[in-house]
Amino acid sequence: MERRISGFILAELMVVIMILGILSAMAAPSVLRFYRQAALEYETEHLLADLRRIRSMSRQCNEPAYGYGQNSVWIQKVFINLNADSYDIWAKGGTLKYSKRFSHKLMPMIKMSWPNAGGDSEFSFRWNSGLTSKGMMGTIVLMVRGHPEEQRWIRINRSGRLRIERGGKW
C-alpha cells in the first residue's frame, strides 16, 4: 500500500516564507511613503481649514461695532501663532487679554516653517479677509522630517487668499 503524504514539507514552507519576505520587502518602502504623504496631506488640510476658520471669524468680529448700536468701538481679533511642531489660535480684544482658544500639535514626523515671515510667526486677518499689518503675504511650509522632497506649501497673499501647492524642496 502506498502511503499518501498530506500537507507541506519543510522545504515548501521555507519557499513560501521566502517569497512572502521578498514581496513584503518590496512593498515596505511604498507603504511608508504612502503613510508619510497621507500624514503630510492631513496636517496641511487641517491647517488650511483652521486658517479659513480664522479668516471667517475675522470677518464676523474684526469690524468695528460702532454704529451698530454700540456706544464705543469694540473689536476682537483672532490670531494664529505658528511654531515648528504646533500652532495656537488666540482671540484678543474687548475685555480679553490673550485668551487661548485652540491648540493643535502636528504629528511627530511633520514640521512647519514660515520662511519669509522674518521671525514673526503670529498673524491675523482683517474684517475684509486681508492680512493685518502684523501679517504679511508668504508661504507656510509643511514637510516630513528627514524627507525634504516631501513638502506642501500654503500660500497666503496680501488679500488673504489661501491655496495649497505640492512641491519639492523649498
Q: What is the pLDDT of residue 5?
A: 66
Select from 162, 141, 133, 164 the least CA-distant residue to 52.
162
Q: What is the pLDDT of residues 11-36, one digit of tens each?
A: 888 899 999 999 888 888 888 899 99
Phi-psi sector, 90: left (phi>0), alpha (psi -120 to 50), beta: beta
Q: What is the pLDDT of residues 75-91, one digit of tens each?
A: 677 888 888 899 998 88
Cell numbers standing for residue 48:
488650511
Query: What does the alpha-carbon distance between residue 22 and residue 20 come to, in Å, rounded to a whole number?
Result: 5
Residue 104 pLDDT > 80:
yes
Cell numbers standing for residue 63:
469690524
Domains and CATH numbers, the chain: 10-167 (3.55.40.10)
Q: What is the pLDDT of residues 125-148, one digit of tens each?
A: 877 777 775 556 788 899 999 988
The radius of gyration computed from the CA coordinates of the chain, to the nearest angstrom, equals 26
Query: What does the alpha-carbon distance between residue 117 and residue 30 come to, in Å, rounded to a whole number?
Result: 35
Q: Which residue has the higher pLDDT, 6 or 57?
A: 57
